[in-house]
Amino acid sequence: MAEMTLQAVPESLDRVLEFIDETLERSQFPAKVQVQINIAIEELFVNIARYAYRPYVGEVTIRVKTEERPPQVTIRFIDQGKPYNPLKKEDPDVTLSAEERKIGGLGIYMVKQSMDEIYYDYLDGKNILTIKKKAD
């Protein structure tokens, strides 16, 4: 298992993605899955960075666990900001025309569509969001 704790600010995104890429390097996930994981990390991290502690700044811990049989990765985001379950956000209607579309809500929707599992807990004052993705 690998873990990193850093300030939850959008500027930290590149460091988070580097950390995830390094951790996944040995697991040889297909390129397509790696991109899906990168997108999920970006969407979830940026959400926390923008909203969890607003207007203050706090920390987020990211835990990555890879397994080999079957090859899969579990990534957990832990913050101590305002209780917020992003999974409760209503899915955007992806059949609307450009004019009718609202901006927003697409990020978490993409994460839900691309990950195998996603769940949220609020425990001891902490938001804990977990995603799981299999290699195939």
Partner 1 sequence: MKITKSKENSALTLALNGRLDTNTAPELETELKASLDGIETLVIDMEELAYLSSAGLRVILAAQKQMNKQGRMIIRKVNDMVMEVFEVTGFTDILTIE
Instruction: Please choose, from the candidates 48, 38, 8, 63, the residue with its C-alpha nearest in 3D space to the C-alpha of residue 115.
Output: 38
Work out whether 101 is an interface residue with partner 1 (CB under 8 A): yes
Residue choice 19, 29, 37, 43 for contact with partner 1 (CB under 8 A): 43
Coil, strand or helix at 120: strand
Work out whether 94 is an interface residue with partner 1 (CB under 8 A): yes
Work out whether 6 is an interface residue with partner 1 (CB under 8 A): no
Q: How many CA atoms lie within 13 A of 63 on its CB side?
A: 10
| Burial (Cβ within 10 Å: 0-12, 13-18, ≥19) of residue 92 | middle
Q: Which CB, 15 or 121, lies closer to partner 1?
A: 15
**Residues at the site binding partner 1, with contacts judged by CB under 8 A:** 10, 13-14, 31-32, 35, 38-39, 42-43, 46, 92, 94-99, 101, 103-104, 106-107, 109-110, 113-114
